[in-house]
Amino acid sequence: MHQYMIDNYRAAVRGDQVPPQPGRHDRQVIREIGEYRRFRRVAACRPAEGRVRRAVTRLLRPRPARR
């Protein structure tokens, strides 16, 4: 918070644009990190992981017949 206040003061003195508040873009950054990881997996030709892989496996495996 102190650094944010210092940056605000510096921007006001210089006439620059005020920096964004701390934590304002955290959700967007976390979402973009997840997208980047998924992209890296696809680029490295690795199979899907987690929910997607389980769903595809369920669709492709034949179910045993019920008696």
Q: What is the pLDDT of residues 19-67, one digit of tens each?
A: 888 888 888 999 999 889 888 888 888 766 677 777 878 888 877 777 6
Helix, strand or coil, per DSSP, at residue 29: helix
The DSSP code for 67 is -
What tokens appear for 45 in the block? 């030709």
**For residue 14, what pLDDT band results from cuts at 50, 70 and 90?**
very high
Task: Give the per-residue pLDDT at 48.
Answer: 61
Q: How many of the other CB atoms lie within 10 Å of CB of 49? A: 11
Alpha-carbon 54 to chain mean position:
21
**36 half-sphere exposure, CB direction, 13 A CA radius:** 6
